Structure 1
Amino acid sequence: MIACLRLLSALCLAALLAACASSPSSSLGELPRTPDASIEQLLEQATQSKTPEKAALLRLSAADLAYRQGNAGQSAQILQQVPMEQLKPGQQIFASTLSAELAMTRNQPKAALTALSHPSLQHLSEMPVEQQVRTGTVRARALEAYGQTLAAAKERIFIAPLLENDAAAKNHEAIWSLIASLPTDQLQPTSTDDLGGWLSLAQAVKTAGTLEQQQAAIDHWREQNPKHPAALQLPTPLVKLKELASQPLSKIALLLPQSGQLAAVAKALREGFMAAHYQAQQAGQTPPSIQFYDSASLTSMDEFYRKAQADGVQLVIGPLEKPLVKQISTRPQLPITTLALNYSEGEQGPPQLFQFGLAPEDEAREVSRRARADGLHRAAAMVPKGEWGDRVLKAFSQDWQANGGTIVAIERVDQPVQLAQQIADMFQLRQSEGRAKSLQSTVGTTVAAQPSRRQDIEFIFLASTPQQAQQIKPTLNFQYAGDVPVYATSSVFSASGDQNQYNDMGGIRFCETPWLLDANDPLRKQVTAQWPQAGGSLGRLYAMGADAYRLAPRLGQLKTLPDSRIEGLSGSLAVSPTQRVQRQLPWAEFVNGQVQRLPDTQR
């Protein structure tokens, strides 16, 4: 009786599989389709199967079913039991695609792309549309995760005609997201096909400055490409840009303290802000009117917002004081869009809040980016003892290690008298000297040995004061490590113009604001003629003030187009998903007491 039931079960399962299978051609073989059976039933049927080919197909069905049910671990275990050589080409494509999908659940895009390089994939165009879409989608995801953005976009453009309804709409938006994230120098269309159209659209949007110019560029592109998919259905971010362009900014509140500890900082920010405002007027633009408010005399932020609303303010720039920024960042909503000139502790604030500041963490991440671009992988770090040094080190470490870098040594700098010992410890020089002494004791004669340092440190991440940097670089030279590159934050640069101060820092590379590296910038020349202190370290604040003005009308634009940037005077500016303005900075190097600008690398 049991044997009869098993036979009946086997016949039912075989019928189900046959009903659900698809045969693209006899040479490629039938594909598994998820049958109305459990994973356990499929696996049991596989063990009872009379042919290895049928057993392999049943296990492939079970592995696919486990994946569809969200059990990637079980799916991978079952798939390992499927011998690829016993599958026909169509089934190999199916198995390779499933293997790639499982690799992506483990965040292993390289393994996914390896799976999709199986020779059977040359027959993909002969497969059913559903399989072509499934394979193309996981390949696009893997390419994107592996940093091959343009290739991922090409893959999505290829499968676009095969999609319908919601899947087509999602793929359409994904294509734009990928194309829009490409740097401008990669947006050079070389053809008039769909890819060329996408590239020319992104190029038109990115090279236009204001919202109005962007809107005109989009309209012109649509006229030239009326049958392109993006002309027929404008991507959602570009639709939002059109809405933003219809809401011009006419009145800004500048909320800064006019007295107290931060008054001098606020003065520099205000003067930089207004300098940019007057420059816009001189260029023939119609800038928004500015209303000044004193944050030092506020009794409450609620009262300020009520007054600002009554005054017709559309955007608030400020506050500067961290307690006030913290206060508004914890609210669920703000009555007016606000660009705070400092950062709160938490990551995400209300949707109306943007945050902008000269965060040293941005510079630490910039060091990480530049060192990667220069082909480096193993770092040592030197930071000051204390809370500031810990913050900067944390930002560098997180970005560096998240991108595959290794930190092999860390020293926290404090007292100058300890510096030589710290550097010796970092490079393990004392161990080298100890080995020389041990050898001398063993052989009984004097051994001439120059201490050797460890060789696995490719560069040093340095965040320090100018005075500390003046001591660190000569000490590195003395301790046989003068050839190790040093990448530093702007904290090493005093911008004093004192060549004697820079003589001992030769070879240190550092990131810095464009304001301090480009003395010929028209706005900087105007400002320093009136306020000479803007040419020194205070210039960073003047640059931030000017950039706050330039950001004001474009916050919505940067939020809507997350991969777009403003080339500002405090850095190349973008808005993160948490609505913090993030800076990327140009680079310079101390050479013979002079500051020399370094060529930019691709971001």
Structure 2
Amino acid sequence: MIACLRLFTALCLAALLAACASSPSSSLGELPRTPDASIEQLLEQATTSKTPEEAALLRLSAADLAYQQKDNVRAAHILEQVPVEQLKPAQQIFASTLSAELAMSRNQPKAALTALSHPSLARLGELPDEQQRRTRSVQAKVLEANGQSLAAAQARVDLAPLLSGNAASDNQNAIWNLVAALPSDQLQSASTGDSTLAGWASLALAVKNAGTLEQQQVAIETWRGQHPEHPAALQLPLALVKLKEMASQPLTKIALLLPQEGQLAGVARALRDGFMAAHFQAQQAGQKPPAVEVFDSSRITSLDDFYRQAQAAGVQLVVGPLEKPLVKQLAARPQLPITTLALNYSDAGQSGPAQLFQFGLAAEDEAREVSRRAHADGMVRAVALVPRGEWGDRVLKAFRQDWEAKGGTLLAAEHVDQPVALAQQIADLFQLRQSEGRAKSLQNTVGGNVSAQPSRRQDIDFIFLAATPQQGQQIKPTLNFQYAGDVPVYATSHLYSASGDVNQYNDMNGIRFCETPWLLDTNNALRQQVVSQWPQANGSLGRLYAMGIDAYSLAPRLGQLKALPDNRIEGFSGSLSMNPKQRIERQLPWAEFSGGQIVRLPDTPR
């Protein structure tokens, strides 16, 4: 009986070994496979294996089985026991792939990229399709997570011939999403040649360079005629199919819903005038713009009644309302009868129905813009000066979240309130009183007068500033007085009055600030036309005229931005894109106060 059991055990172990390897290859080596055995059985057999290669194969299988069972900690522990450099190329590829998958599960994309840089991956094309699919899939994900979009797209192009059915379609859409997100200069350089990836890049460039939905359709069909055998020509990505559907349903009538009475009437008037100026320019250019009917939101007693009235009038899109309470009401509804572009934002945590889009001059956008610019400039450690109150809290929160997500550190923050307290607040930020205290202590110790100039803390790279022009006039001189005049200051647009006041600009010399293209780029023909009719649009009120013009530009392209979330509209209030919550976000150009003038700075790299 005992002899029979021994024979049975030996047969089982032999079967395990046989199940752990694919067909042998003299140069590549055997690939491990997950056998019909437990992790414990595999590890036990590895300890009694006759050769190191057998032991390594069994441990690789055990690590992979643990990963498939989502026991990632155990998988990593087992994989650490495998001498990767002693393996043959196929096994090294397998181990590197598993190591990358485990690193991604720990949200460590850089470690995953290192794992996939092993020299053995040069022979990936010699492996069976199943292993190629697995490795190329994780390659694409790792490259994308490391910001290497073009390389990730190439990995997916290499993966495509190995896929079929839904997996092939999903990969096709993923390639498009990657190339569509690339800036035009990268697409231009990648579109040369006759490779499959070059075809993808030229398609993305054609769509990006076309403005309207109709122009995009012409660009897509022209490209298909030039690349009839390209995978994207044979099966358009889903996002482009959606664009085609939108182009077949042109926008013919808009309801402009703004208050004509009350506290927001002046703001609404600037928005309306900007919106209608863009509408008239489109007519003058020979386009066929949608009809616009204006409704007074200050007289609305029921949103349901308004939408019924708008539907009866043939309205396809509502632009407005401006009042935040009305926007919050719309965001709380499960759906809307007509697609709506609100000109304000609901509360941050409020999602809203699929038919609701939101656009405004959000201060949070500018806080994120400061974070983006400072990060691009190599800054790491920040302090903040923001106004006291709810507005300042929102701006500070947006800056902190974006800055820390980029790996930056916010060392301290002060809420500016009364001018008399400003010097003390800045001294606290820069720990000047501690320096003065050390000097006084030294003087008491040695006796007599000790000549010592207070010194500020040296670990601050820059100041994030959200303040009015009047506050800015006080803050910059105070920084100079408090030995911190050399610390870079990055500010939101609220600092800029656009008044042309040289003395005010001199008081803020050296401060960098983000601002709307409307106030920085003054040579645009439409801007000059608007300013000639409404001179107030030349000053800070011009931001509202710019927003009205941009609302008109957004109106027919909401579906386009939703289908192609990496597309942008270069507007007067900023470079506009749509986030997953269907809120329009702005990126802004930069300028600096210098010698009583405003000097435009190079744009932040995207």
Normalised to the residue count of structure 2, the TM-score between the two structures is: 0.97
Equivalence for 2:150 = 150
1:325 Cα deviation after fit: 0.6
CA deviations 1:145-169 (Å, max 9, x no partner) are: 1111111111211222232233222
Go from structure 1 to structure 2 and tell me whether the alpha carbon gap of 1:91 and 1:315 turns closer, same or farther (over 3 Å shift).
same
Of 435, 452, 468, the match for 1:465: 468
CA deviations 1:515-555 (Å, max 9, x no partner) are: 11122221121111111111111111111111111100111
Of 395, 415, 435, the match for 2:418: 415
Equivalence for 2:588 = 585
Residue 547 of structure 2 aligns with an amino acid whose one-letter code is: M
1:153-168 correspondence runs (5 A) = 153-168=153-168
Go from structure 1 to structure 2 and tell me whether the alpha carbon gap of 1:507 and 1:49 turns closer, same or farther (over 3 Å shift).
same
Equivalence for 1:231 = 233
Q: Secondary structure at the match of 2:294?
A: strand
1:5 Cα deviation after fit: 4.3
Equivalence for 2:118 = 118
Q: Percent identity?
A: 77
1:200 Cα deviation after fit: 0.6
Go from structure 1 to structure 2 and tell me whether the alpha carbon gap of 1:14 and 1:478 turns closer, same or farther (over 3 Å shift).
farther
Aligned length: 603
Q: Is 1:396 the equivalent of 2:413?
A: no
Of 267, 270, 274, the match for 2:269: 267
Q: Secondary structure at the match of 2:341?
A: strand
Residue 125 of structure 1 aligns with an amino acid whose one-letter code is: G
1:61-80 correspondence runs (5 A) = 61-80=61-80
Go from structure 1 to structure 2 and tell me whether the alpha carbon gap of 1:49 and 1:421 turns closer, same or farther (over 3 Å shift).
same
Question: How far apart, CA to CA, are the structure 1 residues paired with 2:6 and 2:410?
Answer: 60
Is the Cα–Cα contact under 8 Å of residues 319 and 341 in structure 1 kept in the other structure? yes
Equivalence for 1:137 = 137
Question: How far apart, CA to CA, are the structure 2 residues paired with 1:386 and 1:3?
Answer: 85
Residue 501 of structure 1 aligns with an amino acid whose one-letter code is: Q
Question: How far apart, CA to CA, are the structure 1 residues paired with 2:360 and 2:2?
Answer: 75
Question: How far apart, CA to CA, are the structure 2 residues paired with 1:372 and 1:7?
Answer: 67
1:281 Cα deviation after fit: 0.7
Question: How far apart, CA to CA, are the structure 2 residues paired with 1:147 and 1:226?
Answer: 31
Residue 544 of structure 2 aligns with an amino acid whose one-letter code is: L
Equivalence for 1:60 = 60
Question: How far apart, CA to CA, are the structure 1 residues paired with 2:443 and 2:292?
Answer: 77
Q: Is 1:96 the equivalent of 2:99?
A: no
Q: Is 1:487 the equivalent of 2:523?
A: no
Question: How far apart, CA to CA, are the structure 2 residues paired with 1:465 and 1:47?
Answer: 72
Of 315, 321, 338, the match for 1:319: 321
Residue 286 of structure 1 aligns with an amino acid whose one-letter code is: K
Residue 442 of structure 2 aligns with an amino acid whose one-letter code is: L
1:3 Cα deviation after fit: 8.6
1:114 Cα deviation after fit: 0.7
Question: How far apart, CA to CA, are the structure 1 residues paired with 2:448 and 2:64?
Answer: 73
Q: Secondary structure at the match of 2:160?
A: helix
Is the Cα–Cα contact under 8 Å of residues 179 and 204 in structure 2 kept in the other structure? yes
Which deviates the most, 13-22 or 53-62? 13-22
Go from structure 1 to structure 2 and tell me whether the alpha carbon gap of 1:214 and 1:24 turns closer, same or farther (over 3 Å shift).
farther
Equivalence for 2:303 = 301
Go from structure 1 to structure 2 and tell me whether the alpha carbon gap of 1:2 and 1:451 turns closer, same or farther (over 3 Å shift).
farther
CA deviations 1:347-403 (Å, max 9, x no partner) are: 421010000001000000011111111121111111111111110011011111111
Equivalence for 2:538 = 535
Q: Secondary structure at the match of 1:187?
A: helix
1:468 Cα deviation after fit: 1.0
Question: How far apart, CA to CA, are the structure 1 residues paired with 2:183 and 2:497?
Answer: 32
For structure 2, the residue ranges without an aligned partner over 5 or more in a row are none
Q: Secondary structure at the match of 1:381?
A: strand
Q: Is 1:340 the equivalent of 2:336?
A: no
Is the Cα–Cα contact under 8 Å of residues 505 and 593 in structure 2 kept in the other structure? yes
Equivalence for 1:34 = 34
Question: How far apart, CA to CA, are the structure 2 residues paired with 1:295 and 1:529?
Answer: 28
Q: Is 1:169 the equivalent of 2:169?
A: yes
Q: Secondary structure at the match of 2:426?
A: helix
Is the Cα–Cα contact under 8 Å of residues 32 and 61 in structure 2 kept in the other structure? yes
Equivalence for 2:455 = 452
Question: How far apart, CA to CA, are the structure 1 residues paired with 2:8 and 2:437?
Answer: 80
Go from structure 1 to structure 2 and tell me whether the alpha carbon gap of 1:44 and 1:347 turns closer, same or farther (over 3 Å shift).
farther
Residue 344 of structure 1 aligns with an amino acid whose one-letter code is: S
Q: Secondary structure at the match of 2:326?
A: helix
Question: How far apart, CA to CA, are the structure 2 residues paired with 1:265 and 1:553?
Answer: 23
Question: How far apart, CA to CA, are the structure 2 residues paired with 1:349 and 1:117?
Answer: 44
Equivalence for 2:256 = 254
Question: How far apart, CA to CA, are the structure 1 residues paired with 2:419 and 2:10?
Answer: 81
